Amino acid sequence: MGPFIMIFSGLLILGVGRTMPYSLGLPLIDDNVKRQNLPLYFGGMFFIRMLGPFLGFLIGSIVNNYYYSFDG
């Protein structure tokens, strides 16, 4: 039962951390940015969040081309 609780609590914390920019970040931007610049900020935020996984896969594919052995 111990490993199940550890995995569940880790996933719970990860889920809370991943939803935080949407639930707190968007109203913060909405309150502190001029109305005419608001779409630019929202678009930039969503673009950066979509760019992250793309760059992760790209860097991972580049790194997978390098061979490394632990034999020394």
Task: Locate the domains of the chain by residue range.
Answer: 2-63
How far is the CA of 39 from the CAs of 22, 24, 31, 48, 55, in angstroms? 15, 17, 13, 14, 24
Tell me the pLDDT tens digit for each residue of 4-32. 999 999 999 998 888 887 788 888 888 99
Average per-residue pLDDT for the chain: 89
Which structure tokens are listed for 63?
């790194």
**pLDDT recorded at residue 72:** 61
Residues 12, 18: Cα–Cα separation, whole Å? 10
| All residues at 6 or more sequence positions from 25 whose CB lies less than 8 Å from its CB, including other chains | 45
Q: DSSP 3-state assignment of 53?
A: helix
User: Could you tell me which residue, 37 or 19, shows the higher pLDDT?
Assistant: 37
